[in-house]
Amino acid sequence: MALLKESDPRFVGIERKVGLFIFLAVAGIIAVVVFIGVQQEVFTPKAEIFFVAPGGQGINEGASVKLSGFVIGSVKKLSLDDVARVTVKLSINKKYMKWIKTDSTAKLVSEGLIGAGIIEISPGSPSAPELKDKGFLPFTRDKGIAGMAEELKDVIKPALFDIKNIIAFAANDPEGGIKVTLRNVSRLTGDLSTTRYKVDELIKDIDKAVLGISPRVANVLDTTNSAMGKVDVMVKKIDNDVGVSMKKVQGSLDKLDKSLENVRAGTEKVPSVLQNTDAVAQGTKEIVDSIKKIWPISSNIEKPKEKPLKVDSYE
Amino acid sequence: MNRLGTALAVSFVFLAACGGGKLPAPSEASIRAAEEGKSALAAMKKGDHKRALAYYEEALNINRSVENTDGMAINLLNMAIVHGRSGDRLSAHRLIDGIVNTAMMDVSPAVVSEAAFYKAVLHFDSGQMDEAVKWADSSLSQCARADCKTSGRIYNLLARISIAGKDFAGALAVAERGWKLNKDSGDFEEEANSLRLMAEARSLGGNVHEAIRLYEEALLLDKAIGLSRKIALDLMGAGGALCRAGRAEEGKRYYERARSVGKGAVSEEIINKASEAIKACGGP
């Protein structure tokens, strides 16, 4: 006994309706796939070029390849050869190959100051022939922040060391040139005062002795007396100025000493920072090792394998 | 619709599960042996042959302990290569004979091919061309059995043997064959070697123009890879071709460039060879 009438309007032509629905769904899926493929340039004809680098740091699969700031392709694959050099395969849109010449170079640069690494290809000279498919480019690497910091460190460190030595020499060495000179000046001014006093006394004696001889002589003696007075004033002024200068120099030396102390304190923190970084790196390694064992990631990771050494035909 | 939906859901789950098979993990022994091999390679890069031999011997013992014949053969071969590069050809021959004279069972054809190739190289370096050809042919046949991708390199060696035997036309044909195979397999170093051999065959056959073009092509590849010794060989080859053709000034310029490369690479061998070549070409 049929449970549903054939003439039930809900089921009239049900096969056609279902078929049409499935057909539209599949067509929609195919259209989306094709659209995405076109957006992602899957159907765009591509050429492959290579370069060899001493190491793969900073070069990632999928990284952009640019020429004159314009994206022309991407890094397709990295592989290690038997002498631990890295061969990098680049996938380039064929329409851009005309700007890549045999004297073009590939360079690893960072986008911005600390951005991701990209490969920058130089256009080469207009008269040079175009690089063919599967061709090779020479490779260079940008210095990056770490390289610049390393260079600065090499310049600043010796300069700081020299400054510290100069300060130590000037401030601490009792037999240092500056201190000896100041000490001598101080002694000289002290001696000059004593000498001046003695001369003063002598003048008085002479004054008494010759006062009666000639008024002109007395005049000369008076003039000498006043000149000596002026010398005395000058010596006192010099003595005072030297004292003030010494105080200023000492103050500057103290400030410099404090700055060096701050630098020393800053560098003492570096080992603990490095230790923390090391612990983080170790933790990351453990996580990565665990992830490596999960499918489908594990199937894409090359297992360690013994290989014969590469023997060249020109060995 | 319910049945259809269920069928679709089940098929998706099935497809997802299809790729979920887990490959067996490599054994602890094979991982340790591979690590020893890596350490040996690092020692070789630093030029410490004694330490490299010690690492390979350790890897050999590990493979011996689990009766991994391929692993044993690979390490014997590597030790032979280290001895060969240290100048001890007798020890190198002795170690390779242990692989190719079927003293070991079940060694894969790919490894036997590598061993036979190195035996051919040793004979070539000693000037024993007949033996070199015999072992190169043996290497080719083992390579064909293993469907390996390194046959281009063997053709390069055969081309060198032909050049040594003054068969320049034969050398050219063999080198061209090797070039095609190396280009297809993506082996850029051997591709450059093939170009250099083709250039040498052309030059000795009297076609200087084509020889220079091929030397320049090999030079481009070697510069991109960054191998000083090969760059010097390309320059010396071009210089030799030009000097033989009576174009001494051009030839000497190439030799000067080779000498400069030798100075940069601190290689007395290259510097001396370039200097002798300049004198032979009529220079100071």
Closest chain A residue to the Cα of B22, Cα to Cα: A295
CB contact under 8 A, B30 and A313: no
Give residue B183's pLDDT. 95
Give residue B129's pLDDT. 96
Give residue B27's pLDDT. 85
**Paired sense of beta strands A64-67 and A70-80, if any:** antiparallel
Nearest chain B Cα distance for residue A9, angstroms = 17
Residue B164 near chain A (CB below 8 Å)? no
Facing residue for A304 by CB, picked from B35, B45, B153: B35
Give residue A90's pLDDT. 95
CB contact under 8 A, A84 and B45: yes
Nearest chain B Cα distance for residue A138, angstroms = 5
Q: Tokens representing B123?
A: 């004979």
Residue B256 near chain A (CB below 8 Å)? no
Give residue A84's pLDDT. 82
Give residue A176's pLDDT. 63
Count CB pairs under 8 A between chains A and B. 97
Predicted complex: ipTM over 0.95: no
- CA–CA gap between residue A57 and residue A63 (Å, rounded): 13
Give residue B15's pLDDT. 55
Give residue B13's pLDDT. 56
Nearest chain B Cα distance for residue A124, angstroms = 15
Facing residue for A299 by CB, picked from B23, B77, B121: B23
Instruction: Please give the model's pTM, rounded to 2 decimal places.
Output: 0.54
CB contact under 8 A, A306 and B34: yes
Residue B230 near chain A (CB below 8 Å)? yes
pLDDT tens track, chain A, 315 positions = 455 555 678 888 899 999 999 999 999 999 999 999 888 778 889 999 999 998 888 899 999 999 998 999 999 999 988 778 899 999 999 999 999 998 899 999 887 666 678 999 998 888 888 998 999 999 987 766 666 777 687 778 778 888 887 777 666 666 666 777 778 887 888 788 888 888 888 888 887 876 666 677 768 778 888 888 888 888 888 888 888 888 888 888 888 888 788 778 766 776 777 777 778 777 887 887 777 777 777 777 666 789 999 999 998
Give residue A177's pLDDT. 67
CB contact under 8 A, B224 and A52: yes
Residues of B in contact with A85 (CB under 8 A): 225-226
Three-state SS for A189?
A: helix
Render chain B in DSSP notation, one character per residue. -HHHHHHHHHHHHHHHHHTTPPPPPPPHHHHHHHHHHHHHHHHHHHT-HHHHHHHHHHHHHHHHHTT-HHHHHHHHHHHHHHHHHHT-HHHHHHHHHHHHTSSSSS--HHHHHHHHHHHHHHHHHTT-HHHHHHHHHHHHHHHHHHT-S-HHHHHHHHHHHHHHTT-HHHHHHHHHHHHHHHHHHT-HHHHHHHHHHHHHHHHHTT-HHHHHHHHHHHHHHHHHHT-HHHHHHHHHHHHHHHHHTT-HHHHHHHHHHHHHHHHHTT-HHHHHHHHHHHHHTT--
Facing residue for B19 by CB, picked from A296, A312, A315: A296
Give residue A147's pLDDT. 67
Facing residue for B74 by CB, picked from A50, A51, A307: A307
Task: Return residues 72-111 of B near A (CB < 8 Å).
Answer: 74-75, 77-78, 81-82, 84, 111
Suggest the residue from B11, B22, B113 to mutate for an interface test with chain A (most A CBs closer than 10 A). Answer: B22
Residue B23 near chain A (CB below 8 Å)? yes
Residue A138 near chain B (CB below 8 Å)? yes
CB contact under 8 A, B19 and A136: no
Closest chain B residue to the Cα of A51, Cα to Cα: B224
pLDDT tens track, chain B, 284 positions = 567 777 676 666 555 554 445 556 678 899 999 999 999 999 999 999 999 999 999 999 999 999 999 999 999 999 999 999 999 999 999 999 988 875 556 899 999 999 999 999 999 999 999 999 999 999 999 999 999 999 999 999 999 999 999 999 999 999 999 999 999 999 999 999 999 999 999 999 999 999 999 999 999 999 999 999 999 999 999 999 999 999 999 999 999 999 999 999 999 999 999 999 999 998 65
CB contact under 8 A, B59 and A304: no
Residue B19 near chain A (CB below 8 Å)? yes
User: Taking the CB of residue A76, how many other CB atoms lie within 10 A of it?
Assistant: 17
> In Å, how far from its chain's centre is CA A233?
58
Residue B206 near chain A (CB below 8 Å)? no
Facing residue for A136 by CB, picked from B38, B221, B233: B221
